[in-house]
Chain A
Amino acid sequence: MAVMTYIDAINSALREEMARDPSVFLIGEDIGKMGGAFRATKGLLEEFGEERVIDSPLAEGVIVSSSIGAAMAGMRPVPEIQFVDFITPAMDAITQQAAKLRYRSAGTQTCPLTVRVCYGGSVGGGLYHSQSNTSWFIHCPGLVVVAPSRPYDAKGLLKAAIRDDNPVMFFEHKKLYRSMKEEVPETDYTVPLMKAAIAREGKDITAISYGYTLQLTLQAAEQMRQKHGVEVEVIDLRTLAPLDTDTFLESVAKTSRAVVIHEDNRTLGIGAEVAATIAEQAFDCLDAPILRVTSPDVPLLPAAAELEKFCTVSADKIVAALERSLAY
């Protein structure tokens, strides 16, 4: 075990997978000599050489689509998109090609690649360095969408994603990169894809989130215990598509109340899908309306501190929603 930040955990997963499997290679902007905008690939060029750590041209479309082709030919590419805000030139590659290749070839042609994407706000990055946009990909059958909330999962899920035979969108919240540390094994392990986790057990109300807002939800749960003696069960979705619905449905059947928290816009965010699923499959379990704590439906995120603060999810906003649900 070693105490690692989230970015250390990512780096460690990449290093271990590249050492384990010679078909794994990295491609992206600034990932080589510079070691990545956030240093996720630090030291890997020196260790594995220029052929396996490719400083690409500044063109997200070809970063992803060349990875698709390489994956078809037997490689395990791990392309990096520096900020999800820049992913739009790669949208054809991701949504029309990677997502549909297996389907449109009836399973005879596949592209196992893991697109690492840095996302999220609360760092004053402004409109083009703060977006979440996970919903764009959740809405796209054929993609596995993963968004770990902590270093242990970041390493285990990234290793699982690289070994998975499906195209995986791997969302890393930039606010998590260096804001928390925890014990992470230095030995080989994976965390299963498509499986949510109970991040904190409780019996009174279910709070469902992922990524950075999962950490805020855990803070809110602790506040609820101290303030009201309420035991919040916190579900970490971990994989957003295909969604593990059983874990949160099981929890709601136990607690009868649900609040969904995410940083993406409210409309058609993962919260909408979670809420609809609970309403469809666990209607009789509910004692209160399902509530959402999300960013508003505005372009995310405006830069000025007060604007950003207004838009982003906070532990206090989550506490308020939990209180509202309990008071219903």
Chain B
Amino acid sequence: MATTFEPAVLTRDTEMELLPAEPDGALYRRLYSYMLKCRMVEERIRVLYRQGRFAGNYFAAVGQEATEVGVTLDLLAEDTIAPSHRNFVTHIMKGTPLPLMFAQIYGRKTSPDQGRSAPAHCGYAPLNVITPSSTIAAQLNIGTGIALAYKMQRRRNVVVALSGEGSTSLGFWHEAVNFAGVRRLPILFVVENNGYAESVPVALQTAVSDISVKAAAYGIPGISVDGNDVVAVYAAAREAIDRARNGEGATLLECKTYRWYGHSEIDPAKYRDPAEVEFWKSRDPIPAMERRMESVDLWTSQWKKELEAEFNREIDEAIAFADNSPQPEGDEALDQVYSFSIRERELERKTWEPRFAGRLAK
């Protein structure tokens, strides 16, 4: 896809130059297998939802795997991901144990949030994934703060902050990107432009055709890439992350992609033209990568079958863990409001009797 904005023009040629030499194709194999795993995990979650196996809702990024994987591959444990509600699968990239992710979906006591937030709102402190909230773009601003701390602490860590194109309409989005520009923070803002913010098409969000141009207003590089081309996404993200690690500040990366399903599992997405959906499904990032790899003898259908069998086994085990995990007890709702307990305050309200020392005569 056409790239847009100086100085970071990215073409297929430069993309290939950016890739490290890797005669065994290890990078391509990892990009591909992670995309496949993300797809399988989310399709399984959708099945579980339709089977009524968990309450709440889910926000699938199916169709957007090239972006989810390309911007998060090879992050360090100490790097932070600042996710939105649609970036559940980035946990797979960070290394969050799959059983904990399914416990999150099931709202069990064993989940990272012990059943507090919502199925898709998974955070994971040991690997620095911020627990998401539902207020759009909030994670970007918190991400800038983490990047600020990294800079103050002289650490070479980075923040990858993800949001959708709808978030760019909020003032909060602009506060975050502006602040990162002013202070040259080590952060990559990824805008997953999947065409729709819930039901509203991108043309009603913004009058620009490439969201990356918004970077110009904040003095940072902006790049738009084909968000369904995992190699292009990875190459652009890698360059931006390397620059951030080297103290050269923030980047805005727009990945143009498409959300195959509705905003959530309760949204049939009837506001979209079926032909448009079919067009984007024909641009599925996973078969595209298969064709690319097959042309250089890096992919066979047999290998894919082996991967699928392995991932299905992992997913089955994770679901079994979630199924066998206890529900939180009701009164655990009183815990972790503060660093101290409020149980006594809430559960034991005592009554005071008069003990008038000097009651005034009426």
Q: Contact: A106 with B116, CB < 8 Å?
A: yes
B362 to chain A, nearest CB (A): 8
CB contacts (< 8 Å) of B357 on chain A: these are 203, 254
A264 to chain B, nearest CB (A): 22
CB contacts (< 8 Å) of B337 on chain A: these are 102-103, 141-142
Q: Does B358 contact A (CB under 8 A)?
A: yes
Distance A322 CA – B130 CA, assembled complex (angstroms): 51
Which of B134-142, B208-216, B232-240, B264-272 lies at the binding interface?
B134-142
Distance A103 CA – B123 CA, assembled complex (angstroms): 12
Distance A57 CA – B219 CA, assembled complex (angstroms): 14
* With A103-B116, A106-B336, A250-B352: A72-B171 Cβ-Cβ less than 8 Å: no
User: Main SS of chain B's interface residues?
Assistant: loop
Q: Contact: B172 with A72, CB < 8 Å?
A: no
Q: Which residues A269-328 have CB closer than 8 A to chain B?
A: 280-282, 284-285, 287, 326
Which of A11-19, A107-115, A153-161 lies at the binding interface?
A107-115
Q: Does B45 contact A (CB under 8 A)?
A: no
Q: Contact: A72 with B146, CB < 8 Å?
A: yes
Count A-B pairs with CB separation below 8 Å.
174
Q: Does A198 contact B (CB under 8 A)?
A: no
Q: Contact: A249 with B141, CB < 8 Å?
A: no
Q: Which residues A43-79 have CB closer than 8 A to chain B?
A: 51-52, 56-57, 59, 61-62, 65-75, 77
Q: Contact: A62 with B133, CB < 8 Å?
A: no
CB contacts (< 8 Å) of B351 on chain A: these are 281-282, 284
Chain A window 250-264, contacts with chain B (Cβ cutoff 8 Å), 1 for yes, 0 for no: 101111100000000
Q: Which residue of B lies closest to A253 (CB)?
A: B352
Q: Contact: A92 with B172, CB < 8 Å?
A: yes
* With A164-B339, A254-B357: A71-B349 Cβ-Cβ less than 8 Å: no
Distance A73 CA – B187 CA, assembled complex (angstroms): 14
* With A92-B138, A103-B116: A255-B356 Cβ-Cβ less than 8 Å: yes
Which of A93-101, A119-127, A180-188 lies at the binding interface?
A93-101
* With A66-B145, A73-B149, A102-B337: A249-B352 Cβ-Cβ less than 8 Å: yes
Of residues A62, A74, A102, A282, which shows the largest number of chain B Cβ atoms within 10 Å of its Cβ? A62
Q: Which residues B29-81 have CB closer than 8 A to chain A?
A: 80
CB contacts (< 8 Å) of B141 on chain A: these are 61-62, 65-66, 68-69, 93
Q: Contact: B142 with A68, CB < 8 Å?
A: yes
CB contacts (< 8 Å) of B327 on chain A: these are none
Q: Contact: A74 with B131, CB < 8 Å?
A: no
Q: Which residue of B lies closest to A286 (CB)?
A: B354
Q: Contact: A67 with B145, CB < 8 Å?
A: yes
Q: Which residues B300-357 have CB closer than 8 A to chain A?
A: 335-339, 342, 345, 349-357
A55 to chain B, nearest CB (A): 10
CB contacts (< 8 Å) of A93 on chain B: these are 138, 141
Distance A51 CA – B148 CA, assembled complex (angstroms): 10
Q: Which residues B161-212 have CB closer than 8 A to chain A?
A: 171-172, 175-176, 178-179, 182
Distance A70 CA – B337 CA, assembled complex (angstroms): 20
A159 to chain B, nearest CB (A): 17
CB < 8 Å neighbour of A107 from B135, B178, B336, B342: B336
Distance A249 CA – B355 CA, assembled complex (angstroms): 11
Q: Does A21 contact B (CB under 8 A)?
A: no
Q: Contact: A65 with B355, CB < 8 Å?
A: no
Q: Does A204 contact B (CB under 8 A)?
A: yes
Distance A199 CA – B146 CA, assembled complex (angstroms): 41
Distance A97 CA – B150 CA, assembled complex (angstroms): 20
Distance A279 CA – B125 CA, assembled complex (angstroms): 43
Q: Does B296 contact A (CB under 8 A)?
A: no
CB < 8 Å neighbour of B135 from A92, A255, A326: A92
Q: Which residues A192-251 have CB closer than 8 A to chain B?
A: 203-204, 230-231, 242, 249-250
Distance A242 CA – B340 CA, assembled complex (angstroms): 11
Q: Does B121 contact A (CB under 8 A)?
A: yes
Q: Which residue of A lies closest to B355 (CB)?
A: A253
Chain B window 108-121, contacts with chain A (Cβ cutoff 8 Å), 1 for yes, 0 for no: 00001110110001
Q: Does B96 contact A (CB under 8 A)?
A: no
CB contacts (< 8 Å) of B355 on chain A: these are 253-254
Of residues A61, A65, A77, A97, which shows the largest number of chain B Cβ atoms within 10 Å of its Cβ? A65
Q: Which residue of A lies closest to B118 (CB)?
A: A104
Distance A73 CA – B141 CA, assembled complex (angstroms): 14
* With A70-B149, A72-B130, A72-B146: A204-B336 Cβ-Cβ less than 8 Å: no
CB contacts (< 8 Å) of B338 on chain A: these are 102, 142, 144, 166, 242
A114 to chain B, nearest CB (A): 14
Q: Contact: A242 with B345, CB < 8 Å?
A: yes
CB contacts (< 8 Å) of B275 on chain A: these are none
A105 to chain B, nearest CB (A): 4
B126 to chain A, nearest CB (A): 8
CB contacts (< 8 Å) of B358 on chain A: these are 203-204, 231
List 27 contacting pairs A-B, 8 Å CB cutoff, sorted by A: A51-B152, A52-B152, A57-B179, A59-B175, A66-B145, A67-B145, A69-B141, A69-B143, A69-B147, A70-B148, A74-B153, A75-B153, A77-B145, A97-B133, A100-B133, A102-B337, A102-B338, A104-B113, A105-B112, A105-B113, A107-B336, A108-B112, A108-B131, A142-B338, A249-B352, A256-B354, A326-B360
Beyond the given A73-B150, A105-B113, please list 6 additional residue pairs across the A-B interface where CB-CB is below 8 A: A71-B145, A92-B135, A92-B172, A250-B352, A281-B351, A287-B362
Residues of B within 8 A of A (CB): 80, 112-114, 116-117, 121, 123, 125, 130-131, 133, 135, 138, 141-150, 152-153, 171-172, 175-176, 178-179, 182, 335-339, 342, 345, 349-360, 362
Residues of A within 8 A of B (CB): 25, 51-52, 56-57, 59, 61-62, 65-75, 77, 89, 92-93, 96-97, 100-110, 141-142, 144, 164-166, 203-204, 230-231, 242, 249-250, 252-256, 280-282, 284-285, 287, 326
